[in-house]
Amino acid sequence: MRIIHVSYSFLYKIGKNQAMVVVCLDKFYLYQIRAIFNKIFRVSQMKNSKKDLNLCHCESGKDYQQCCQPYIEHSLDAPTASALMRSRYTAFALSDKDYLRYSWHPDTCPKTIHLNEKTTWLGLKIIKTTAGNIDDIKGEVEFVARSKNNGKASRLHENSRFGRFDNRWVYIDGKTDDKIVEKSTPI
């Protein structure tokens, strides 16, 4: 690797509204300056991402407390099939078997809910919602849930059916690739 003496100005964005300008002197080497700025940038990103730790797992962009937490803690019932879908995804991410059982229709809920503790849930994308609004009694939500298990990434593309039970939304079952998802299959 050839080392070059440089005299540049660098502009690094640090955070949303901050920028840092540094003038490199001739005696500094380019790779040394890049290493310093990359370290500064990573530290700044970690500081700015602390508030992101409160974001809900369902990727709604809302804080967990204003999104799925009230449903998972049974403070409120999910008002729509889509909200229930998001809260169930979050429950899988949190390994909350109690909420999964509560949000599953008793006729289709398995006796034992198996969660793989090594699974890391990476994201949820709602593709389409059919019915499932506040005044509906049935609804469907098509989604893609991404996960990683033992270093292997996977995607679950499902069309879930929801209905009312005891005047609240519950998960009934889902279809993937024209097959009904078995009771023990997540989400």
Give the CATH class of 53-180.
Answer: alpha beta
Single-letter amino acid, residue 44: S
pLDDT, tens digit, for every residue of 45-72?
A: 433 334 467 999 999 999 999 999 999 9
Whole-angstrom distance, CA of residue 89 vs CA of residue 8: 48
154 beta partners: 147
> Which residue reads 């003038």 in tokens?
23
Confidence of residue 86 (pLDDT cuts 50, 70, 90): very high
For 116, phi then psi, to 5°, come to -85, 115
2 or 84, greater pLDDT: 84
Whole-angstrom distance, CA of residue 103 vs CA of residue 170: 5
So where are the chain's domains? 9-48, 53-180
Q: Examine the pLDDT at 77 and tell me if it is beyond 50.
A: yes
CA dihedral 164, 63, 61, 93 (to 10 degrees): -60
Q: What is the average pLDDT across 133-161? A: 96
Rounded to the nearest integer, the mean pLDDT of the chain is: 79
Whole-angstrom distance, CA of residue 159 vs CA of residue 97: 21
pLDDT, tens digit, for every residue of 90-129?
A: 999 999 999 999 999 999 999 999 999 899 999 999 999 9
Confidence of residue 43 (pLDDT cuts 50, 70, 90): very low
Whole-angstrom distance, CA of residue 125 vs CA of residue 146: 9
Whole-angstrom distance, CA of residue 1 vs CA of residue 70: 57
pLDDT of residue 53: 72
> Which residue reads 């069309």 in tokens?
159
Whole-angstrom distance, CA of residue 72 vs CA of residue 10: 47
Instruction: Report the run of H or E that residue 89 belongs to, with start and end.
Output: helix 81-94
175 or 42, greater pLDDT: 175
- Which residues, in sequence order, are CB contacts of 39 under 8 Å at separation 6+? none
- Which residues, in sequence order, are CB contacts of 109 under 8 Å at separation 6+? 101, 183
Radius of gyration, alpha carbons of the chain: 23
